[in-house]
A and B are shown apart, each in its own frame.
Chain A
Amino acid sequence: MQATVLQAVITGILVGGIYAAMAVGLSIIFGVMKIINIAHAAIALLCAYIAYTAFTVLGLDPVASLVLSIPASLLIGGAMFRVLVRPVLGGPPLISLLVLFGFANFLEGVMLIGWAADPRSLTPAYSASSLQVGPVIFSVTRLLGFAASCLVVGGLAVFLRRSFTGRAIRATMQDQQAALLMGVNTDRVSMVAFLLGVGTAAVGGTLLGLIYAFYPALHLLWIGKLFCIVVLGGIGSVGGVLAGATVLGVAESLTATFFPAVWAELVAYVLLVLTLWFRPAGLFGRAA
């Protein structure tokens, strides 16, 4: 029993780390621009498909394929920002939501045409192997995904804290007007934040593809989880996203282990409702 709980908690933490890599960008983009990038998970999923093609055609390891998918996601992100996002910045939130929802559907169509609706999975040689430590089994892919995610999220946190651009991003998140008055080029900051967000989504998507089978419509399921994490953790805080992602990962894993596995898909929504009910600013957020 104890071993089962321990196993479930560890599995949840490992998956939570990867969730965090995907969600952190969503949180930053919302923090800086006050738009909800509903196409976030679709971009992440597209990068899983890029990794799939790199793996099956070129024999490239999925983690190594980030060399291709990160630039690809930055290109898409840059075009998205110029063509779709900037024109609607500062407008009513519904407009940007609709525009990005349309773009998410467009990306789903691209994935359907490019890779068909069949479920795909990334299966490098180590995909079914695992390490056993005492009673707990660590899946190699999960460990790898978790480690890579920690690097990305940690690197991002350091960047936001130490670099000038990072501080400018945080300043813009706190108060755009004040940042502008202090000489921060908020337009440029928005662009950088958007690219950072999209780039980290690429990492998260590829790593999640390493663990889960994926198909084009899956981004809708993913984006639901990401919303839950961002709301749970409080918007605009890297630590909050980490906490939210870990809570979701562990809650899902425990639910699937001790209740019928089909219930796990509901966990994100239950957590979302509970957070909005009891602590609308999130675990780490300040009340507005």
Chain B
Amino acid sequence: MKMKGCLLALFAFAFGAGALAGPAGAQSLGKTEIVFGGAVSLTGPAAFDGVYYKKGYELWVEQANKRGGILGAQVKLILYDDKSSPSEAVSRYEKLITVDKVDFLLGPWTSGITAPVAAVAQKYAKLFVEGGGCAEPIFQRGNKWIFNTMTAVDHQHSRNLFEWIQSLPADRRPKTATLTYHNSLWAQGCAKGVRAQAQEAGVQLLLDEAYSPTMSDATPLVSKIKAASPDMILNCGYLSDGVLIVRTLKELKVNAKVVWMSDGPPNPAWGATLGELANYTLGTTHWEPGVPYTGAKELTALYKEKFNEEIYDKVAVAWASLQVYEQAIKGVKSLDQEKIRDYIRTNTFDLVVGPTRFADNGMPTISTLLDVQWVDGKRVVVWPKKDRVLNKSIEGKEIVFPKPAR
């Protein structure tokens, strides 16, 4: 009897190991299900981008389960709405950790929300691979549990723009600019970058002003821009405030050679919301469908098929954060938070946002940024140029400059 049992077990083991990697892997993880949890902004001012994180996470989980899960364990996702509120997000992550007892945390959207959530992850010693907050202060707090898949830190966001300006013949370069920014963590960092780079490029800032994240009327702000009459209108902010500003520029008949709106224009909703007013506005993104990285093309096609809409960077960085988890879990063959963390710190990851290593503070060491411009209702990559960018896979079109007046 005993002998028979042993034989059966042996047979089962041989069958498992030889024919089906899945069940054997599941045994090695000691679990049949891995639960990922997070909260993103599905309502509120940050929802314009927040909903794309949800789509990215859900699509990845669906695909992972189609492949048979991670080492045979099925993947489950618990996602809440943080209503664009940091305090709501903190309570949701507390719940994910203490009540839902998820295995791994996913990131929320916006740095202002990521910062307090990162502190929660740190408090509970939970791994936190996120693609929604890249403001530098988040990575200066000695948090050993955070890793970021957004490809550039906040104050780098305007670097392409100024690189382009420096590339122009001296007599064509814009000489003056106004800087306005959303009074929140990431946008403050972005503004800091603009100040430094403007000084370096010899561009004079005629206005440097923060606006309230709850600004519901941009008339006073835009009146100041108008009074300054700058060559360039530079704004560090998000989509909904950017839309309000561009509309008000039209209303007050303000024109400039360059209108750069940082994080708004990469989102397809920018064009959909603004219509004709979106044309010739510039923005900066962490990822575009044509980048030459492993899986980028497949993800673009998959996303189009699933949601029947255009993909953009927020989906890719969300996707990449789950890729990090998967590759690390496979690397250590365990769900141990500390082992996985050490693995992430010492290995290179092949992600949809590019081959990535992480610095000690958790930021990725690669740094991709692409500038886009809306032309005839379409978002086109305008910088960097073809001759030096990304294995020539993306052709940076000429920037329409100066921007036609309206």
- A interface residues, Cβ below 8 angstroms from B: 4, 7-8, 11, 112, 116-119, 121, 123, 127-130, 132, 137, 139, 211-215, 218, 221, 253, 256-257, 260-262, 264-265
Q: Let me know if A212 and B211 touch, CB within 8 A.
A: no
Give the CA-CA distance A35 to B73 in the complex, in Å.
62
Residue of B211, B215, B250 contacting most chain A CB atoms (<10 Å): B215
CB of B253 closer than 8 Å to a CB of A: yes
Q: Let me know if B223 and A130 touch, CB within 8 A.
A: no
Partner of A4 from the list B183, B221, B227, B251 (CB cut-off 8 Å) is B227
CB of B387 closer than 8 Å to a CB of A: no
Count of chain B residues near A, Cβ 8 A? 31
A–B pairs, 19, beta carbons within 8 Å? A8-B220, A116-B43, A116-B44, A116-B47, A117-B44, A117-B84, A118-B43, A118-B45, A121-B244, A127-B247, A128-B250, A137-B252, A139-B251, A253-B220, A257-B220, A260-B209, A261-B211, A261-B221, A265-B212
**Which A residues are in CB contact (< 8 Å) with B338?**
none
Q: Is the interface of A mostly helix, strand, loop or mixed?
A: mixed
**Which A residues are in CB contact (< 8 Å) with B83?**
117
Interface residue ranges of B326-345 to A (CB < 8 Å): none
Residues A213 and B216 in contact in the complex (CB < 8 Å), given A118-B44, A262-B210: yes
CB of B240 closer than 8 Å to a CB of A: yes
**Which A residues are in CB contact (< 8 Å) with B48?**
118
Give the CA-CA distance A5 to B250 in the complex, in Å.
20
Q: Which residue of A lies closest to B221 (CB)?
A: A261
Q: Let me know if A137 and B47 touch, CB within 8 A.
A: no
CB of B398 closer than 8 Å to a CB of A: no
Partner of A212 from the list B212, B217, B221, B240 (CB cut-off 8 Å) is B217
Q: Let me know if A130 and B251 touch, CB within 8 A.
A: yes
Residues A215 and B45 in contact in the complex (CB < 8 Å), given A130-B252, A132-B253, A137-B252: yes
Q: Let me know if B251 and A129 touch, CB within 8 A.
A: yes
Q: Let me know if B45 and A261 touch, CB within 8 A.
A: no
* A-B complex: 3 closest residue pairs judged by Cβ atoms: A256-B220, A212-B216, A117-B43
Would you give the shortest CB distance from A219 to chain B, in whole angstroms?
A: 12
CB of B34 closer than 8 Å to a CB of A: no
**Which B residues are in CB contact (< 8 Å) with A137?**
251-253
